[in-house]
């Protein structure tokens, strides 16, 4: 509240010092309103673009993509790579004129956010929400997975298993590296709640296409849980073993080169599952490893011979300290499993 000299009733003469104080207060109020409008507009734009509003949910299909710390760049690479190969398999994606115009004007609207008041920002958000329905129908849409260094890309009218296999097949053949931060790309053919009863109910019909008689094949199971304690590893494996075995007794486990790999990824309360081929050939669906040259077979005998010599010299020492005893007993070099892979051998 400013002070001044009273001249008439309800009329004041403002002193110079008081006037400067009043101007400072008014400027502070205007700056505060401007920050509030900017924060509101940024929040609305971020919510519309999916910053935290879109999350992995039950019933979705898509692709889980792991990366190393840089999720933003991983998402950009994923869009580029997926669209490149989707155009080859399904043709270019078609947009309506409204979607194209909205895409062109989105950047201009964001630049004008600072000049809009709260009412204009609200109207803009309503307009964006109304027009977002068509945008959400696009074939690829990045979402929050619920885990660090993991991006989920929802697919629409596209078989994620077929698309990912096509990408890895091309990378394995050409040995051409097309990503820098993407590590693994795992298709998600189905999702359900990550509770053992729900999983058993869902996975029964889901696995019939591959394992129900007369279909059969060798298989392994890869299990990983992130930010979840709903389903225990042993319980999930027991359920899967029972389901696959009951469908056809000829289904056998093969950890060396299985025909099928059942991938189970649990994130929070969502279970993502898929059945893929060539999991070993494509280096566990790792985009960085699949482009590397295959290991030369000549290396195998030399390593085994060295292990045999070590065993003859000191059997006790190799059993307790040296990892080559395990390699020799198996006749092949030991392959260390990564934290994201857990091949299961069913007894």
Which tens digits make up the pLDDT trace of 14-45?
555 666 777 777 777 777 766 655 554 454 44
- List C-alpha distances in Å: 292 to 115, 172, 329, 332, 339: 52, 8, 28, 21, 21
Count CA atoms closer than 13 A to 83's CA, side-chain side: 14
The helix (H) or strand (E) run that includes residue 97 is helix 97-111
174: exposed, middle or buried (Cβ count in 10 Å: 0-12, 13-18, 19+): exposed
Q: Using one digit for the tens of pLDDT, what is the confidence trace for 45-101? A: 444 444 444 899 999 999 999 998 889 999 999 999 999 999 999 999 886 655 555
Say if CB 185 and CB 299 are below 8 A apart. Answer: no
pLDDT number for residue 67 = 95
Look at 18-22, 100-104, 227-231, 303-307 and tell me which has the smallest mean pLDDT: 303-307
Q: Is the pTM of this model over 0.75?
A: no
pLDDT number for residue 201 = 95
Identify the DSSP state of 338: P
Say if CB 118 and CB 42 are below 8 A apart. Answer: no
* Pick from 191, 267, 195, 199: nearest CA to 228: 267
Angle at 80 between CA 76 and CA 85, to 5 degrees: 150
| pLDDT for residue 172 is more than 80 | yes
Residues in the chain: 347
What's the token pair of residue 77? 């690479």
The helix (H) or strand (E) run that includes residue 22 is helix 16-49
What distance in Å separates the CA atoms of residue 111 and residue 41, rounded to the nearest whole number? Answer: 11
């Amino acid at each position: 509240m400013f002070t001044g000299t009273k001249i008439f009733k309800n009329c004041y003469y403002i002193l110079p010092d008081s006037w400067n104080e009043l101007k400072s207060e008014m400027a502070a109020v205007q700056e505060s309103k401007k920050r509030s409008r900017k924060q509101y507009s940024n929040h609305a734009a971020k919510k519309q673009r999916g910053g935290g509003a879109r999350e992995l949910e039950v019933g979705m299909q898509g692709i889980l993509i792991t990366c190393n710390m840089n999720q933003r760049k991983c998402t950009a690479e994923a869009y580029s790579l997926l669209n490149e190969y989707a155009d080859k398999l399904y043709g270019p994606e078609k947009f309506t004129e409204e979607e194209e115009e909205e895409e062109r004007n989105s950047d201009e609207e964001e630049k004008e956010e600072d000049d809009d008041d709260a009412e204009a920002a609200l109207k803009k958000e309503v307009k964006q929400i109304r027009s977002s329905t068509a945008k959400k129908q696009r074939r690829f849409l990045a979402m929050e997975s619920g885990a660090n260094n993991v991006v989920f890309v929802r697919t629409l009218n596209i078989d994620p298993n077929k698309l990912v296999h096509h990408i890895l097949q091309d990378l394995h053949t050409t040995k051409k590296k097309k990503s820098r931060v993407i590590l693994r790309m795992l298709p998600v053919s189905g999702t359900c709640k990550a509770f053992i009863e729900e999983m058993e109910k869902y996975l029964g019909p889901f696995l019939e296409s591959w394992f129900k008689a007369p279909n059969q094949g060798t298989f392994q199971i890869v299990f990983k849980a992130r930010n979840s304690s709903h389903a225990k590893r042993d319980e999930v494996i027991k359920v899967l073993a029972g389901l696959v075995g009951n469908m056809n007794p000829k289904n056998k486990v093969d950890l060396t080169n299985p025909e099928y790999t059942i991938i189970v990824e649990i994130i929070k309360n969502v279970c993502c599952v898929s059945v893929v081929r060539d999991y070993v050939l494509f280096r566990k669906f790792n985009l960085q490893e699949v482009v590397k040259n295959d290991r030369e077979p000549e290396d195998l005998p030399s390593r085994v011979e060295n292990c045999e010599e070590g065993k003859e010299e000191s059997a006790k020492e190799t059993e307790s300290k040296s990892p080559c005893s395990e390699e020799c007993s198996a006749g092949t070099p030991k392959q260390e499993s990564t934290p994201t892979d857990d091949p299961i051998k069913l007894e």
